[in-house]
Amino acid sequence: MSHILASRPNEIVAMDYTILEKASDGRENLLVMTDVFSKFSVAVPTKDQTAAVTAKVLVREWFMKYGVPERLHSDQGRNFESQLIAELCKMYSVKKTRTTPYHPQGNGQCERFNRTLHELMRTLSPSEKRKWPEHLPELLFIYNATVHSSTGFTPFFLFLGRNPRLPIDSMLDFDEESGSLTIPLSEYVEGHLNKMRMAYEKAGESLRSAARGREDCNYNNSKTHELPIGSTVYLQNRVIGRNKIQDAWESRNTKLSKLLIPTTTYIKSHQR
């Protein structure tokens, strides 16, 4: 078991498509691009998953905004392994790597972000779930501005070198860089570089530690927990069709009345 680890921002960018419930404008495809080191992520709704659309989004939404990465990593989808993407990588001197067939764990960074994004979208009200492309920028900002458990820093800070200015900062009159313009520019740049170097070192240590933790967890035997009779539980919301961003649980809770075997339960009745 091995892990894809990077040592600096824009060294490795992982990309993947996820298909969501069809939005009110007809779009259902979402191209996700994630910087493996900082966890900084960008997601762009697309009309389809063709190689031409993929290449256009890569260039406009990543290359032209954040610079060209050293390596692109994806699964073996035909859009990612097309001749067009190969020519694009050759033009920009980008190394292209891919996962092994039928092994999504090889692109675990995107898979984990997809799950997080789906959970964020589940917080939308039922009427707004059909408008998920309109809420996507805010949800991405929340993710990128939140401290990541694997690095100990926000993706925004590790990737762009500073934390975003939030509305609450204005309310509290907080300025992280206050007084910085009173020192010589060269001194400020040198101090900023030292601060980022220390952040990269700490983030790298945290990433390696998190990888070892996932490895240990993978090898430990999972255990089930029995629920006592009379427990109040929520049932999984089984929606017909795609349900990636639908509510995970039913709105009503139920009472456990009989336990046949540890993996089979009987439910008595719905409770308000």
Q: Which of 14-28, 47-61, 137-151, 187-201 is least confident? A: 187-201
pLDDT, tens digit, 9 for 90 and up, residues 39-80: 999 999 999 999 999 999 999 999 999 999 999 999 888 899
Reported as type and span, the H/E element at residue 42 is strand 41-46
Regarding pTM above 0.75, the answer is no
Distance CA 29, CA 104 (A): 18
Distance CA 223, CA 214 (A): 16
Coil vs helix vs strand at 15: strand
The structural architecture, per CATH, of the domain 12-162 is 2-Layer Sandwich (3.30)
| Domain definitions of the chain by residue range | 12-162, 232-271
pLDDT, tens digit, 9 for 90 and up, residues 154-209: 899 889 888 887 766 666 665 555 544 456 767 766 776 777 677 677 777 766 77
Residues, the chain: 272
Residues 6+ away with beta carbon under 8 Å from 200: 7, 8, 37, 158
DSSP string, 91-112: HTT-EEEEPPTT-GGGGHHHHH
234 phi, psi to nearest 5 deg: -110, 140
User: Considering the chain, what is the average pLDDT of its residues?
Assistant: 79
